Amino acid sequence: MSGAIQVNGVSRVFGVKGGDVVALEQVDLTVAEGEFVSLIGPSGCGKSTLMRLVADLDQPTRGTIEVFGKTPSAARKNRDYGIAFQQAGLLPWKTVEANIQLPLKLHGVAAPARRARSAELLELVGLSDFAGHHPDQLSGGMQQRVAIARALAEQPKLLLMDEPFGALDEITRERMQTELTRICAETGAAVLFVTHSIPEAVYLSDRVVVMSPRPGRIVDIVDVATLGDSSDRTDAVREDEGFFHTVAQVRELLHGAPVTGARGVENR
Ligand code: ADP
Ligand code: MG
């Protein structure tokens, strides 16, 4: 069983003027198929670096990474994953529909099939009425939903999301979280998700990976199984006692304080 992502003993050292920057040190992590895993940690702890390594946008200094049992490069060529980062990254001169169809077009999918797929995705992210709009005619949350639809265009079994909701206001953000949970339930995709928000990580995830300041290492992994499967959570979970408890637990790990009465914490 190879799972969706397997990171083995990965370090990434950047050679810069005045010495080396150790962005990641000895990171081991697995993400199972269909599992939702969040990375949380202080700014500069290597979250984006890890994401970029998995996405084949950078190479580890040491260690190996497998995506569905393949090298990240083979997985990229096989279009095994979709990417959504903090900036929606839409092409402003293209319509919403054309933005969503872009990866399909690049890979030679014929126009009728592209249209059918983008209609389906627009429905999924609740933007059917905006197919012909341009990105600057949409709110930040709507643009981010278009970016997610585009990431899903090729039906990837894995989504790599680096602070995708970072630029959104709190209300829109919670809506997007609920939306993402629903999309994951419908598509069965695994997700590796970077966020600065503890409640966001806890609400969305099966497991929350807490990272330390540079050099980025995994401090602990908090199992959120007490809140049920990540793909069938409802907004009610946010009021749950177990939710508050897990949020507190992650917060303590981030601040380096000992956790007392830890429930559902596992060292892996
Ligand atoms: P995070 O996403 O957790 O905020 P990053 O992964 O972006 O952190 O960065 C981790 C560390 O690696 C930072 O100290 C950053 O300055 C450094 N770093 C990232 N990319 C490069 C690069 N291309 N060259 C040099 N240093 C880098
Ligand atoms: Mg980052």
Q: Is residue 267 lining ligand 1, measured as CB closer than 6 Å?
A: no
Closest atom of ligand 1 relative to the 12 alpha carbon? 12
The strands making up 36-40's β-sheet, listed across from edge to edge, are: 81-85, 158-162, 190-194, 36-40, 207-211, 218-223, 265-266
The rounded mean pLDDT for the chain is 90
pLDDT of the residue at 202: 96
pLDDT of the residue at 8: 97
pLDDT of the residue at 258: 54
Considering only CA atoms, which of 223, 226, 224, 229 is closest in space to residue 267? 223
- How far is ligand 2, taken at its centre, from the CA of residue 45, in Å? 8
Taken in order of first residue, the domains within the chain and their CATH numbers are: 3-80+157-265 (3.40.50.300), 87-155 (no CATH)
pLDDT of the residue at 128: 95
Q: Is residue 181 lining ligand 1, measured as CB closer than 6 Å?
A: no
Q: Which ligand is nearest to the CA of 161?
A: 2
Q: How many CB atoms within 10 Å of residue 136?
A: 9
Give the confidence band of 147 by pLDDT, cuts at 50, 70, 90: very high
Q: Is the pLDDT of residue 198 over 90?
A: yes
pLDDT of the residue at 261: 45
pLDDT of the residue at 125: 83
Q: What is the CA radius of gyration of the chain?
A: 19
- How far is ligand 2, taken at its centre, from the CA of residue 132, in Å? 32
- How far is ligand 2, taken at its centre, from the CA of residue 162, in Å? 7
pLDDT of the residue at 29: 97
Instruction: Identify residue 176 by its one-letter amino acid code.
Output: M
Each residue's pLDDT tens digit, 80-135: 999 988 777 899 999 999 999 999 999 899 999 999 999 998 988 889 999 999 99
Q: Is the pLDDT of residue 18 over 90?
A: no
Q: Is the pLDDT of residue 267 over 70?
A: no
Q: Is residue 195 lining ligand 1, measured as CB closer than 6 Å?
A: no
Instruction: Identify residue 151 by its one-letter amino acid code.
Output: A
Give the confidence band of 182 by pLDDT, cuts at 50, 70, 90: confident
Burial classification of residue 42, based on how many CB atoms lie within 10 Å of its CB (0-12 exposed, 13-18 middle, 19 or more buried): middle
Closest-CA residue, ligand 1 atom 14, reads: 44
Read off the pLDDT of each residue in 18-37 and give the average, rounded to a whole number: 95
Could you tell me the CA-to-CA distances from 256 to 25, 56, 129, 132, 171 in Å, in that order?
Answer: 18, 31, 47, 49, 30
Closest-CA residue, ligand 1 atom 10, reads: 46
Q: Is the pLDDT of residue 180 over 60?
A: yes
Q: Is the pLDDT of residue 201 over 50?
A: yes
The torsion angles phi and psi of 40, rounded to 5 degrees, stand at -135, 145
Closest-CA residue, ligand 1 atom 13, reads: 44
Each residue's pLDDT tens digit, 231-242: 888 888 999 999
Q: Is the pLDDT of residue 265 over 50?
A: no
Looking at per-residue confidence, does 123 or 32 come out higher? Answer: 32
